A and B are shown apart, each in its own frame.
Chain A
Amino acid sequence: MEKNEILNQVLSVFHDVLDNEDIVLTYETTANDIEEWDSLSHIQLVVAIEKKFKLRFTSKEIQSWKNVGEMLDCIKEKVA
């Protein structure tokens, strides 16, 4: 799956979980850029992404992400 396709699917998860269709994601986006992305919604996002892509992250992987792009790289690796 291409990284941009993953981005689009992740974006739909963000829209759904954060109840905001106006959210835009780029590879550089971080939690600081999205008001609704707090520590609790972060858990909901991770759970929803794990469900959507039928994969599992480790806590180490999650803690290592510096932005959305790194999260996408991690998903890409797992769905390859």
Chain B
Amino acid sequence: MSFKAGDIYNLPFTVTNERYNGFIELFNDKNPLHTNDEFAVGHGFKGRVMHGNILNGFLSYFIGECLPKKDVIIHSQEIQFKNPVYLNDELQFKATILDVYESVNTVEFKYEFRNVETKVVAKGKIQIGILK
């Protein structure tokens, strides 16, 4: 298996206007927290808060496209949102392999997204399977 505990992957991601609008177009979540600056500011944010689930798209890209093997499948993933992400925020993604379970061809990652202020905006775990 080309994975070992402790391996680290770093990737930059940006929540671009294209991704933000694409997410709304695809899933129709137009909640004012995500679409109305005034509403978001009124609730203590600096502006429209990006949908946290855009980050799940980045996770999908990471697992699907950035690992040394393409024959992988996500078994489970969890995400905790710690701080808001705003339009055009540049995020640094870091994933670390926590453990490899060769008996069942399974790899467990922990990951985090940090913004330019190095604050963790989201973190969690992903478990993937290596397809036979």
Contacts and interface: CB of A to CB of B under 8 A. Distances in A.
Interface of A: 40, 42-44, 46-47, 50, 56-59, 61-62
A41 to B, nearest CB: 10
B75 A57 contact: no
Contact of A59 (B75, B103, B108, B129): B103
Given A46-B101, A50-B103, 7 more contacts: A43-B75, A44-B75, A44-B76, A46-B103, A47-B104, A58-B103, A59-B102
Interface residues of B, number: 11
Contacts, number: 31
Contacts of B103: 46, 50, 56-59, 61-62
Interface of B: 75-76, 101-106, 108, 127, 129
B104 A62 contact: yes
A47 B98 CA distance: 12
A50 B99 CA distance: 11
A62 B103 CA distance: 7
A50 B102 contact: no
